[in-house]
A = this chain, B = another copy of it.
């Protein structure tokens, strides 16, 4: 049976990961706050992309559930939420559904309160991944992929030439597991740089 993955977040990043992971043979459930509300939205996405429900119809093997349902079933979680919502979303997923699991976190704590370009709400001596790890100590957080756009995250060969992806986290085992996903996406071992904890 295919390994179950929870993709947290219904935006472009979540859709991109859900499609790619499904194509790779994983069983993907996207988590959202409220399934009915998410399906009821009819406005196009922020990039002119179709409403989520249209996208979901076109990707019938992908499921939609609450954050908690998606996390409960899954052995691995992808944090595709906005950085300023990530900790709240993980709390909604339920600490009992996170414990001992790998979270691949590519969220950035972007602060758009002063318009574009955004600043960071957490930086320098702190980071979003560290905040998540402190808030959910039994979760194995691996930070990666957050330095590029979502299409490139899951298809690195879209960009020609040498380019790299960083990986960091407290658990070596979790990092190894995350790196297997990166390789499945197309990242070469030599392009994956472990920054440590």
A25-33, A118-126, A135-143, A146-154 - interface stretch: A118-126
Question: By the criterion of a CB under 8 Å from any partner CB, how many residues of chain A are at the interface?
Answer: 7
Give bound CA distance, A123 to B119, whole Å. 10
Instruction: List residues 52-106 of chain A with CB under 8 A from any CB of chain B.
Output: none
A188 to chain B, nearest CB (A): 13
Chain B residues with CB under 8 A of A119 = 124-125
Give bound CA distance, A125 to B161, whole Å. 31
Chain B residues with CB under 8 A of A161 = 162
A194 to chain B, nearest CB (A): 16
* B-contact 0/1 string along A5-27, CB 8 Å cutoff: 00000000000000000000000
Give bound CA distance, A135 to B57, whole Å. 57
Point out which of A120, A124, A161, A162 has the most chain B C-beta atoms below 10 A from its C-beta: A124
Chain B residues with CB under 8 A of A162 = 161-162
Chain B residues with CB under 8 A of A124 = 119-120, 123-124
Give bound CA distance, A123 to B123, whole Å. 8
A65 to chain B, nearest CB (A): 36
Give bound CA distance, A115 to B119, whole Å. 26
A61 to chain B, nearest CB (A): 38
Give bound CA distance, A163 to B88, whole Å. 38
A96 to chain B, nearest CB (A): 35
Nearest first, the 8 A-B pairs at minimum CB distance are: A119-B125, A123-B124, A120-B124, A161-B162, A119-B124, A162-B162, A123-B123, A124-B124
